[in-house]
A and B are shown apart, each in its own frame.
Chain A
Amino acid sequence: MSLLAHLKIVDGKQVARLKAAVFVAATAPFLLLALRGWNSWRGQPFSLGANPIEFITRDLGDRTLIFLMITLALTPLRRLTGWNWLIRMRRMLGLFAFFYASLHFVTYIWLDQFFDVRDIVKDVIKRPFITVGFLAFLCLVPLAVTSTNAMVRRLGGKRWQALHRLVYAIAILGVVHYWWLVKRDIREPLIYAAILTLLLGLRIYWNLQKRQNTTVTTTAAAQRV
């Protein structure tokens, strides 16, 4: 309990430490994947299995979705816990989502399709699950590019925020991408869909509540006049 209470008031030095810890944790999945790759190469256990490229693609796709969900969870979590520092992790975690998405994308282009442009174009046009995945990745790029403080200033807070609302669409496309890919067992995509519904639902709920409150206050104010 004391720890939870302590987490409410965090100074700059502690934020830096928390950031470092989150950075290490967020890099771990990549290092584990690299270790599996190394073990595959040496023929050791804890490897990439019989179909390494599929394993890598799935793993990186999973990480992308997880980091998207974590990034989207920070705002509601801050509101529920009062831990304001959470928001200072958001940019880094969002960039990790982009990092894993880029690796996922490169794996597809390089290891899976081996730069066969004709096949890739055909895939993107003809395969709905690839279409939405590709679209989601394209939308992520401007968010990553405009993630610096300088870009926030250049765009202006309002416009920057409007642009970064794209992340909601990206997350939905990402989950659809996974859903449309699986053959039959939709349990895992369903879990992502449920989490995303909760995260977006909370926002909608709070927004509606806020609007209602403003209406109530304005009516009350009007009545007083």
Chain B
Amino acid sequence: MSWSPHDYDDIEGTYVFDGKHAHGAYALNKLLFSFCEESSRSEFERDPAAYCDKYGLDTRYRQLVLTQDFLGMLRAGANIYYLAKMAIPRGTSVQDAGARFQGITTEEFQQKLLAKGDGLVDKLSARGGYWVG
């Protein structure tokens, strides 16, 4: 059995959520999805290891969850939206997570984002037809 290659596999720093990830990390994503329910979130809080066992996570996935290794979980097949269900209630925003993925501070990550807007109004004016306030 082999997984077919894709032309998105070589996009750097990117883990396209496809069948290979969804299949391998099904139990992990099911655990993360359960956090839509407040009762599941509190059950996890009370005993994270037992909660991992309840969802049948193997040693590798269990360790990633217990250490809150978001990049590790992502690489192991967690879907980013499902990951957010674990991260956000713990005070880790998607920008905090993005910073951690890159090994920089959230402030540095936010500065990089803000720089994307440099010269925006000039670009809009050059193209024409855009609302400029």
A and B physically associate: no
Chain A residues near B (Cβ < 8 Å): none
Chain B residues near A (Cβ < 8 Å): none
